[in-house]
Copies of this chain bind each other. A is one copy, B any other.
């Protein structure tokens, strides 16, 4: 099956996830900057983080399907699995916000990020296995150091926050948040390797 509908459906879900949070921004009750900061400050930050995060996934998803031409039933489910975890992000981020970066919410946030990261890797594997020995995606992805590094950062953050958080919460939470924000940033520049493979193709065939 061609990839058109999988891409269209994913675009739809991600477009909704990325914009839905505006509905949760509370309009400030006062009319000055203090009121804005007080009632919507963390909400605006949350919105920005979610927007960038979903943007990164959309961007990489877009790149991945540049070197994917056919999908199977398994690809559709692996993709829905990824969309499920991404659609939960607004919820976990909100919990982090309202509790002022408490230990359990921050850990759950990390688990959500880790689950989305794993789902992305699974989707990638499903496509590569279907493409067979000379998979264009495998060639583009290579040893996939970036994916491994970001999953490691998530695990590290979850561990620090979940275990050390009992003893020294504030420090552990700061370290965890640094892990969680660094990992996606690795992906801000989407895969140049894919761009290269795409660019080679018209020449090569």
Contact = CB atoms under 8 A, between A and B. Distances in A.
Task: Give the number of times this chain occurs in the complex, counting copies.
Answer: 4
A22 B22 contact: no
A63 to B, nearest CB: 7
8 contacts: A5-B7, A13-B18, A20-B23, A23-B23, A36-B95, A51-B84, A59-B73, A72-B195
Interface stretch (A27-35, A125-133, A174-182): A27-35
A11 B5 CA distance: 8
Nearest to A55: B80
Contacts of A30: 99
Indicate the size class of the contact surface on chain A.
35 or more
Interface of A: 1, 5-9, 11-20, 22-25, 27-28, 30-33, 36, 40, 47-48, 51, 55, 58-59, 62-63, 65-66, 72-73, 76-77, 80, 83-84, 87-88, 90-91, 94-95, 98-99, 102-105, 108, 189-190, 192, 195, 198
